[in-house]
Amino acid sequence: MSIASDVIRGHTDAIILAQLIQGDSYGYKINRAIQEKTEGQYELKEATLYTAFRRLEQMGCITSYWGDENTGARRRYYSITQAGLEMYDRMLAEWEQSQALLQKLITP
Amino acid sequence: MSIASDVIRGHTDAIILAQLIQGDSYGYKINRAIQEKTEGQYELKEATLYTAFRRLEQMGCITSYWGDENTGARRRYYSITQAGLEMYDRMLAEWEQSQALLQKLITP
DNA sequence: CCTATATACTTCACCTGTCAATGTATCTCT
DNA sequence: AGAGATACATTGACAGGTGAAGTATATAGG
């Protein structure tokens, strides 16, 4: 849907980790935060979001637990781990580097 | 192989078009130019490069013709079309936009 | 009460771009 | 003759993203 999807592709993980650095959260809320951050310009597709959670958990970058809501739908909360923090730092550095690289390449 | 591959992904077309704006060229030479431009930090894999040529030609963004080398291996030259120029402009604008968007998203 | 809407998570099938591997052919240098 | 550079092409596999569909609960409005 979004124009930006090709750039964002492969950065879903970093985007999620960036959100979790600010504290534990759950899928729906994270997506909301992303929409607000971008003034509605971007949102993650649900399938993308939950696939990313699986991937990140399997890599040991996040852990999850069920919230104890006594009302509303159940929520699965996620926490960023030490490995996740390190991964985030690497991804951020990579992004800075790649950005400069592509800028060079895309200029005639 | 490269660190930047996830960012560059989906921008191969724009990179190639950026090269062709400077004049007709052929696969091997374009890849060389890319390597030089990035001081060896990046190169396209051959499969990626030639797949992109097919895609761009099919979309009408480039046209191709065989060079009339009387020595050495034959070369297939590519020209950017009007549609290609327009596509490039769109891609460049998109990149600027996406860059800003991802910068926002990747920051905690 | 019933329906629509929002919240919240899950799974499956499919598409696209990338890339490793492999193959072809020609030229130059030793 | 053999090695290495030039030059193009195809195949099969893989990873990430996404549309579509499904499950379940709470709330607001008619």
| Helix, strand and coil percent figures for chain B, each rounded to 5 | 60, 10, 30
Portion of chain B with pLDDT greater than 70, in percent: 96
- Residues of chain B contacting residue A6, judged by C-beta atoms under 8 Å apart: 9-11, 98
Residue B2 pLDDT level (bands cut at 50, 70, 90)? low
- Residues of chain A contacting residue B104, judged by C-beta atoms under 8 Å apart: 37-38
Measured CA angle at B11 (ends A18, A2), to 5 deg: 55
pLDDT value of position A3:
61
Q: List all nucleotides in chain C with at least one atom under 7 A from a protein Cβ.
A: 7-13, 17-22, 25-28
pLDDT value of position B3:
60
At residue A85, does pLDDT exceed 60?
A: yes
User: Which of the 8 DSSP states describes residue A64?
Assistant: E
Cβ of A95 and B106 within 8 Å? yes
Mean pLDDT of all residues in chain B?
A: 91
pLDDT digits (tens, 9 = 90+) for B33-58: 999 999 999 999 999 999 999 999 99
pLDDT digits (tens, 9 = 90+) for B89-104: 999 999 999 999 999 9
Least confident range from A43-52, B4-13, B84-93: namely B4-13
Closest chain B CA to residue A23? B108
CATH fold label, A5-106: Arc Repressor Mutant, subunit A (1.10.10)
pLDDT value of position A2:
54
* Under 8 Å between Cβ of A106 and B11: yes
Q: Could you give the CA distance from residue B77 to residue A73 in angstroms, rounded to a whole number?
A: 59
A72 touches chain B (CB under 8 A): no
Cβ of A98 and B18 within 8 Å? no
Portion of chain A with pLDDT greater than 90, in percent: 83
Measured CA angle at A92 (ends A88, A98), to 5 deg: 140
Q: How far apart are the first and last CA of chain B?
A: 28
Strand order in the sheet with B76-80: B25-26, B76-80, B62-66
CA B22 to chain centre: 12
pLDDT value of position B13:
95
Nearest of B1, B47, B11, B102 to residue A6 by alpha carbon: B11
At residue A16, does pLDDT exceed 50?
A: yes
| Separation in Å, CA of A93 to nearest CA in chain B | 10
Cβ of B11 and A102 within 8 Å? yes
Cβ of B15 and A105 within 8 Å? yes
Write down the number of H helices and E strands in chain B: 5, 3
